[in-house]
Amino acid sequence: MDVKNIYPHVGPKQIKTEHARRFTRVMFLVAAYVCPVVNLGAGGKAWSLVVLWSLWFCWSFLFAPDLVEYNRISQTSKLIAYSCVLLILIDTLLSPGWAAFVVPLISCFGLLIVGALFFSDLERQKQNSMPMLWLVFASLALFVSSLMGWPKISAPMVALGAAAIAMLAACSAVLGDGLLRELKKRFHTV
């Protein structure tokens, strides 16, 4: 019996790439361990949390991209969400006072970019609508919380709320019953 090896040959370039990735992983883990220790030893503000989130941000985008939902809408939504979390951490831990203005502004423009990506190729992107909807729902939740008083209502917050409501209305008009089916699939428990 003649058995043929059908797996592709692993060349020296792939081996070097894997070694570089392992080395980078070790360096990231060392930095993730050393930064909190140095921060605790030196005292002061918790800057190590910002560093840890930044390390995770870089690792998840550059060295370990998503395997399942790796499309332009989900990656853009993930980039916007991770950036906003990083900005909130910087504002909360290091330099307070500006995130209530900047984060809604970035979220609003990010929502418009994701909407443009979605509506630019509607037939192919219908299956990628859920990351955009998560971003819309998070934006609506932030807008509603600002209407209740936290954070204070501002012009970027109003723009974010308007963009989120417009995006939800456009998605509802375009997707119709497909939007409800998608939501039922995501929240189906029985």
pLDDT interval class at 190 (50, 70, 90):
low
Identify the pLDDT of residue 70. Answer: 87
Q: What count of Cα atoms within 13 Å lies in the side-chain half-sphere of residue 35?
A: 17
pLDDT interval class at 163 (50, 70, 90):
very high
Identify the pLDDT of residue 108. Answer: 95
* 94 within 8 A of 50, measured Cβ to Cβ: yes
Q: Does pLDDT of 165 surpass 60? A: yes
Looking at per-residue confidence, does 69 or 155 come out higher?
155
Rounded to two decimals, the pTM is 0.85
How high does pLDDT run on average in the chain?
90
Q: Does pLDDT of 107 surpass 90? A: yes
* Residue 92 structure tokens: 């909360």
Please classify residue 112 by burial: count the beta carbons closer than 10 Å to its beta carbon, then call 0-12 exposed, 13-18 middle and 19+ buried: middle
Please classify residue 135 by burial: count the beta carbons closer than 10 Å to its beta carbon, then call 0-12 exposed, 13-18 middle and 19+ buried: buried
**Length in residues, the chain:** 190
Per-residue pLDDT averaged across 122-134, rounded? 86
Identify the pLDDT of residue 189. Answer: 60
* Nearest-angstrom CA–CA distance, 78 and 148: 27
* 154 within 8 A of 108, measured Cβ to Cβ: no
* Nearest-angstrom CA–CA distance, 83 and 32: 19
